[in-house]
Structure 1
Amino acid sequence: MTVLLFILGVLVVVVGIVVSIALHEVGHLVPAKLFGVRVTQYMIGFGRTLFSVRRGETEYGIKAVPAGGYIAMIGMYPPATADGRVRASTTGVFQTMADDARRASAAELRPGDENRMFYRLPVIKRIIIMLGGPFMNLLIGTVLIGVLIMGFGTAQPTTTVGSLSQCVVTAEQQQRTGQTDCLATDEPSPAVAAKLQPGDTIVAFAGTDVTSWNQLTTLIRQSAGRTVPIVVDRDGTRVSSTITPVVNDVSVLDAKGTPVRDANGTVQTTRAGFVGIGPEQRMVAQPITEVLPTVGQNIGAVVGVVLHLPQRMVEVGQAAFSDAPRDPDGPMSVVGVGRIAGEVAATDQIDVRSKVAGLIGLVGSVNIALFVFNLIPLLPLDGGHVAGALWEAARRGVARVFRRRDPGPVDIAKLMPVTYVVAGLLLVMGALLIFADIVKPISIF
């Protein structure tokens, strides 16, 4: 049964990703057709075509390797000469690459296509077409995150004690000796000394009524070294006691109670009061006003990974070929995502409702990642085409201001060598991530 649930979880997320890719390409297809561009192909996947059907002037199909998708539009590359001809290459391999791309583009043309080529569209329309795909992923991600936090809720800390630290192990001890467990010589934690128990709900601390975990955390941190009263609700009975928070290294928290990390992803710490309790988490539905901020946080996290991608890939390589651990917040391949989906579906540590929420969250996060990644301003990604269109608009704008001759469209065919290099790097990174996800997978349980 566990194996079947694992496979089911993998299949659910794989189907979700394939559908997301298909809708990404629909985001390109619809505006392209609305603007009159002739679209010759709409394909999901790469490699050999498994199935296709022609509707009008477009072939729709599925290919053997479901690792992406594309639409083929005529006139992606402008001709190299004013009269529209592609002259023979005489300047080396890079020019040959550009000319081959132009020839392939020109070969698709037929009578009546003169005003249906992509490069002839106004810049704004080209940008809309290229942003249509990433915008679709953003829309899918936003909807799924909305369903997740409004329908299922998010885990929120409560004032109920979920766990107790049996002793106080300082950060200095951990760094000096690697100690994480209690020793016989260690002093019991303030929570143990005060005889707190898992399941106790703290209703008052230091003479103040407690209504939230963040409020309780603030009161504990402010009470370092002082003996203060504490009141808990234990199975419906109020129990009063005293507790003395000790000074310890604790995480710096933001306004929402989330640990603050530095540029390297390390949790920042400060000296403050500590009693040794962890909160019980409960799923709490969030209002619609929390959807966009949550999406923004997801986008920010992915942007952080992308900005430090070379460093992150080095860390992935080190983990894959050594005993170094994988960063749970680092990049992973679709294999890693599938593995986590299988773990979520197969585990007996959470209920069915939480499993469904976990799978929805995974697909939503993948879409946010696709949105950010496709905006990188490098060909062959969508952001590369947007950057080319913006550069063309800037050149023509400058020419108009200084009353110069129109420089014409930007010849992105000249960037084919860069396109091949970027595509090659993406393949290498993908292969490394897949290897790491097999030999050193990230596990959430």
Structure 2
Amino acid sequence: MSPVLLFILGVVFVAIGIAVSIALHEVGHLVPAKLFKVRVTKYMIGFGPTLWSKRKGETEYGVKAIPLGGYVSMIGMYPPNKDDGTVRPSSTGMFQTLATEARSMAHEEVGPEDANRVFYRLPVWKKIIVMLGGPAMNLLIGVVLTAVLLMGFGMATATTTIADVSKCQVAAGETVDPDSPDCRLTPAAAAGLLPNDVVTSFDGKAVTGWDELTEWIRASAGREVSITVERDGAPVTTTVTPVLSARPVVGVDGRQAKDDAGTLLYQDVGFLGIGAQTELVPQPASSVLPMAGENIKQVAGVVFNLPARVVGVAQAAFSEEERDPNGPISVVGVGRVAGEVAAMEEVPLQSRIGALVGLLAGLNFALAVFNLIPLLPLDGGHVAGALYEGARRRVAKLFGKPDPGAFDIARLLPVTYVVATLLMGMSLLLIYADIVKPVNLFG
């Protein structure tokens, strides 16, 4: 299969995955709303003109032209206008008028029989469940996909089989022609070690794992030690003397660590000049939640620092700076990464599919965390409004005052419009950056 076709298949795979994730996110809102007897008028995937819809019961289900999200319409999202249900005069100001109109629109389909089926009449805890249903669904999808990745496909794990043997000793950041007089043989090359050799013992100790072997090599700089490998089914023993060399310090994310000033970190350790072959090793169920938690932690870090990271993306997009590989990307960038992964013919198919599954898991964790930001129009904004409503009702009861009723979240519409505008601007910036200065994840 051609690389171009593989690229397209990767993009399609992730596009379908994103669409399904969005659809299930909205199901997370739809199901509890219906369980709590709120009348749901629409369940839509996408925005803009409707491409297809079908009414079932009291709800219209459909797909719209712009696949950048979805929504569930529930009657009575805002309390009604305090007058007689009509729109107040517009002399109170533009934003007040918008809020009044929003309240009126929220009650356009409310009839006398719906008095107890409007969203704003729900108890606070039910409102929170409805609004958390979407992010909770994305978290669940992320955990399930993580389980599929770890337990089904497995994690790439270094084996004790040698994948490659470096010929020359090279200082960090330098290159040496293997055929030039400047090439000093690495200890592994000098000892005659070969790719596909399986290391069985080092310095008289049985080797059971690559990480263990690496630690022994690093601690043996300048000391001659014995090493035994299995080659073509027969043991071969020789001696090696690891050299002291500056090697990258690798962080928990698998990337080279940096100091506070952003300088790449190195440490002087024993170096042999061999690399390990990897294979996918299925992981136990107990590894799923810790891995999911680590992914959520990384996503939360990106979201927490989102303004600064978006500024960094803008600087890179309009300059010669490189993009931060750990920074935010748009759906365009996600599609490009998926296509590049799928087109890597040198990587086993199982590994490529696993990488795409992991990408979808990360996207769902990102959707969950991002939607929990306590700002409208995000789900977290509605949760914050419900919590405020519960708090002021409790305070009123504590001081013997009348119940203040449902919190009129329509008052926060000015904030909603500002946030929505910023989110749209951020999305356009990320899409532009992913086109002109894409993130380089694969060198």
TM-score exceeds 0.5:
yes
- Does the CA contact (< 8 Å) of 1:317 and 1:436 recur in 2? yes
CA–CA distance in structure 2, aligned partners of residues 111 and 101 of structure 1: 20
Aligned to 1:20: 21
Query: Aligned partners of 1:21 and 1:440: how far apart in 2?
Result: 27
The aligned amino acid for 2:383 is: V
Structure 2: distance between partners of 1:111 and 1:187 = 88
Picking from 215, 219, 236, the partner of 1:218 is 215
Query: Structure 1 pair 192/65, CA: closer, same or farther in 2 (3 Å)?
Result: same
Is the CA contact (8 Å cut-off) linking 1:88 and 1:99 kept in structure 2?
no
Q: How far off its partner does 1:265 sit?
A: 8.3
Contact 1:32 1:129 in 2 (8 A): yes
SS of corresponding position for 1:107: coil
Offset, 1:82: 8.0
Q: Give the conservation status (yes or no) of the 8 Å contact 1:313–1:429.
A: yes
Segments of structure 1 that go 5 or more residues without pairing to the other structure are none
Residue 282 of structure 1: aligned partner: 279
User: In the aligned structure 2, how far is the partner of 1:268 from the partner of 1:422?
Assistant: 39
Q: State the one-letter code of the partner of 1:102.
A: R
Aligned mates of 2:263, 2:105 — CA distance in 1: 50
* 2:363 paired residue number: 366
Q: TM-score, normalization: structure 1? A: 0.90
Higher deviation after alignment, 336-345 or 79-88: 79-88
Partner Cα separation in structure 1 for residue 284 and residue 20 of structure 2: 27
Are 2:345 and 1:377 equivalent residues in the alignment? no
Instruction: Identify the residue that residue 412 of structure 2 maps to in structure 1.
Output: 415
1:115 matched residue in structure 2: 116
3-state secondary structure, aligned to 1:138: helix
1:330 and 2:350 matched: no
**Aligned residue pairs: how many?**
439
After superposing the two structures, state which structure 1 stretch, 402-411 or 96-105, moved more: 402-411
Correspondence 1:53 to 2:54: yes
Deviation at 1:88, TM superposition (A): 2.9
After superposition, the C-alpha distances for 1:237-283 in whole angstroms (9 at most, x for unaligned) are: 22222222333333446799886677898765443333232221111
Task: Give, in whole Å, the separation in 2 of the partners of 1:46 and 1:108.
Answer: 21
Tell me how far 1:198 sits from its aligned partner.
2.0
Change beyond 3 A, Cα 1:180–1:133: farther
Question: Counterpart of 2:388?
Answer: 391
Is the aligned partner of 1:151 residue 2:152? Answer: yes
Mapped contact 2:155–2:282 kept (Cα < 8 A): yes
How far residue 123 of structure 1 moved from its aligned partner, in angstroms, is 0.9
* 8 Å CA contact 1:79, 1:86 repeated in 2: no
Moved more, 208-217 or 435-444: 435-444
Structure 1: distance between partners of 2:86 and 2:265: 61
TM-score, scaled relative to structure 2? 0.91
Q: 1:109 to 1:246 in 2, by over 3 A?
A: same
Match of 2:341 in 1: 344
Q: CA deviation at 1:129?
A: 0.6
Q: 1:427 aligns with which of 415, 424, 427?
A: 424
What is the match of residue 233 of structure 1?
Answer: 230
Q: Separation in 2 of the partners of 1:297 and 1:248?
A: 32
The Cα shift of 1:144 comes to: 1.7
- 1:441 CA drift (Å): 2.5
Offset of residue 93 of structure 1: 2.6
Q: Which amino acid aligns with 2:388?
A: W
Measured at CA, do residues 190 and 12 of structure 1 come closer, stay the same or move farther in structure 2, by a change above 3 Å? Answer: same
User: Aligned-residue CA RMSD in angstroms?
Assistant: 2.6
Write the distance in 1 (CA, Å) between the matches of 2:102 and 2:260: 41
Which residue does 2:37 correspond to in 1? Answer: 36
- The one-letter code of the counterpart of 1:398 is V
Deviation digits for residues 288-317 of structure 1, max 9, x if unmatched?
A: 111111211211121121122122222222
Local SS of the residue matching 2:107 = helix
**Within 2, Cα distance between the matches of 1:421 and 1:264?**
34
> Contact conserved, 2:88 with 2:97, CA < 8 A, in 1?
no
Whether the aligned pair in 2 keeps the contact of 1:249 and 1:271 (CA below 8 Å) is yes
After superposition, give the CA deviation of every residue in 1:340-394 in whole Å (9 maximum; x if it has no partner). 2222333321233233323322222221221111111111111111111112222
Q: Distance in 2 between matches of 1:35 and 1:328?
A: 43
Alignment match, 1:304: 301
Cα distance, 1:191 vs structure 2: 2.6
Given that residues 201 and 227 in structure 2 are in contact (C-alpha distance below 8 angstroms), is that contact kept between their aligned partners in structure 1?
A: yes
2-structure distance, mates of 1:267, 1:212: 27
| Post-superposition offset of 1:188 | 3.3
Residues 224, 246 of structure 1: 8 Å contact kept: yes
How far has the Cα of 1:79 moved from its partner?
3.2
Specify the SS of the correspondent of 2:113: coil
1:253/1:214 Cα in 2 relative to 1: closer, same or farther (>3 Å)?
farther
SS at match of 2:239: strand
Name which of structure 1's ranges 27-36 and 80-89 shifts more when overlaid on structure 2: 80-89
Query: What is the aligned partner in structure 1 of residue 107 from structure 2?
Result: 106
* Aligned match of 2:290: 293
TM-aligned CA deviation for residue 5 of structure 1? 2.8
SS of the equivalent of 1:17 reads: helix
Shift of 1:120: 1.0
Deviates more, 1:39-48 or 1:246-255: 246-255
Structure 2 counterpart of 1:200, from 197, 202, 205: 197
- 3-state SS in 2 of match to 1:364: helix
- Asked if the contact 1:214/1:257 (under 8 Å) is kept, the reply is no
Counterpart Cα distance in 2 of 1:216 and 1:380 = 53
**Deviation of 1:24 (Å):** 0.9
Tell me which moved more, 194-203 or 374-383: 194-203
- Alignment partners' CA distance in 1, 2:378 and 2:340: 31
Aligned match of 2:240? 243
Indicate the residue corresponding to 1:9 in structure 2: 10
Alpha-carbon distance in structure 2 between the residues aligned to 1:159 and 1:352: 22
Distance 1:408 1:190, change over 3 A: farther
Structure 1 residues 440 and 73: alpha-carbon distance in aligned structure 2, compared to 1, 3 A threshold? same
Question: 1:39 Cα shift?
Answer: 0.7
Cα distance in 1 for partners of 2:77, 2:49 equals 23
Secondary structure of the equivalent of 1:112? helix
Q: Deviations over 1:25-64 (max 9, x none)?
A: 1111010011011111110000011111111211111110
